[in-house]
Amino acid sequence: MPHAETVELIPNAGWDERILVCRNGTLVNVFIVVTARYVVVVDTLINPATAQQLVDCAQPYLPGRQLLVVNTHADYDHAWGNQLFAGPRAPYPAPILAHRLAAAQFDAPEVAANLAQMQAEEPAIFGPVELTKPTITFDAALTIDGGDLTLRLFPTPGHTPDHIAIYLPEIRTLLPGDAAELPFPLARTADGLPAMRAGLAALANLHAETVLYCHAPVEAGPQLLHDNLAYFDALEAACRAALAQDPGLDPDQVDDLAAAVGCAYADVTPRGGAWDRVHPYYRTEGHAQQLQMMLTWLRGSGQGQA
């Protein structure tokens, strides 16, 4: 699917007006949090042109406030507009805050290869991208005291090792990044899967009133956290049953994992509304990939024999 360079402000549907939600096509939502002290851009989109449009949205609030930038993680749809904020030619110099492991992600050879491939496929969109690391990193947690609003940044690894989420306690609002999404977040490794599920449980335990996701409609609400947890619980149950039947079941040797495990996408996700309009990837490869992670984790940890 080709990428779009449009960025539009989503009309406020009842969340705190100090949070602006900006949508890049159908790819991703990112956020601008306007506090008394700071304007915090949460994720920088896919390239300098889309990041520029974020700055345009933030501009009316910048007089008298320091600009801060946060990367929830280093993925291309969240951090490839960073060059606007750091580096010798940055037009809007600002601290870029992220988890310590985000910086390492920018150095990974597969990221450079991914960028080169995307530049070849869509030169107008990705040609101008210069990978730009965060400039302030943290390990355990970081608190931004905006004066009226507090942003608590904390690790939620699993989707990626560097992933963080953000909670604003005064308005009981959660920005989970890609730690939760419609129809489910994607663990990239078998080890990441239990971490991601623990992160989801921690996010649900915050009992946020408002949850604004990067990859779900703004009206999805806190229930999606529970739906995501239920999805992985159902996957675990199906995979345990399959391994009980066939302890030698090797996910790397099976073509159609959903059939082999007896766990189709439709069996383990709600129906209707936005659930029926998710990208086909999730129903097919995305679902199969999560089954593979689950089976690999259960086999590797010996938990499949429990």
CA distance 64 to 43: 22
CB 231, min distance to Zn ion, A? 18
Whichever of 178 and 227 has its CB closer to Zn ion, that residue is 178
CA distance 177 to 179: 6
CB 30, min distance to Zn ion, A? 9
Whichever of 22 and 149 has its CB closer to Zn ion, that residue is 22
User: Cis peptide before 183, with omega less than 30 degrees from 0?
Assistant: yes
Number of shown-chain residues binding Zn ion (CB under 5 A): 2
Binding-site member from 178, 192, 225, 258 for Zn ion (CB under 5 A): 178
CB 77, min distance to Zn ion, A? 4
Phi, psi (deg, nearest 5) at residue 109: -60, -35
CA distance 15 to 212: 9
- The interface region with Zn ion, picked from 48-56, 86-94, 178-186, 187-195 by CB under 5 A, is 178-186
- The interface region with Zn ion, picked from 64-72, 142-150, 174-182, 254-262 by CB under 5 A, is 174-182
Binding-site member from 77, 162, 227, 236 for Zn ion (CB under 5 A): 77
- Cα within 13 Å of Cα(232), Cβ side: 31
Residues 236-295 that bind Zn ion (CB under 5 A): none
The first and second tokens of residue 96, run together, are 């870029």
- The interface region with Zn ion, picked from 4-12, 62-70, 72-80, 166-174 by CB under 5 A, is 72-80
Q: Where are the beta strands (DSSP E) in 131-280?
A: 136-138, 142-145, 150-155, 164-168, 173-175, 210-211
Whichever of 38 and 76 has its CB closer to Zn ion, that residue is 76
CB 76, min distance to Zn ion, A? 8
Answer yes or no: are the C-beta atoms of 82 and 72 closer than 8 Å. no
CB 285, min distance to Zn ion, A? 16
CA distance 21 to 175: 11
Residues 98-137 that bind Zn ion (CB under 5 A): none
Asked if residue 43 binds Zn ion (CB under 5 A), the reply is: no
CB 75, min distance to Zn ion, A? 5
- The interface region with Zn ion, picked from 73-81, 155-163, 199-207, 255-263 by CB under 5 A, is 73-81
Beta strand pairing status for 96-99 and 66-70? parallel
Answer yes or no: are the C-beta atoms of 163 and 99 closer than 8 Å. yes
- The interface region with Zn ion, picked from 82-90, 150-158, 175-183, 188-196 by CB under 5 A, is 175-183
Q: Locate tokens 């990067």: which residue?
A: 214
Whichever of 134 and 146 has its CB closer to Zn ion, that residue is 134
CA distance 212 to 288: 26
In this structure, the number of other CB atoms found within 10 A of the CB of residue 193 comes to 23
Whichever of 77 and 236 has its CB closer to Zn ion, that residue is 77
- The interface region with Zn ion, picked from 70-78, 79-87, 106-114, 258-266 by CB under 5 A, is 70-78
280: helix, strand or coil: helix
Contacts with Zn ion by CB under 5 A lie at 77, 178
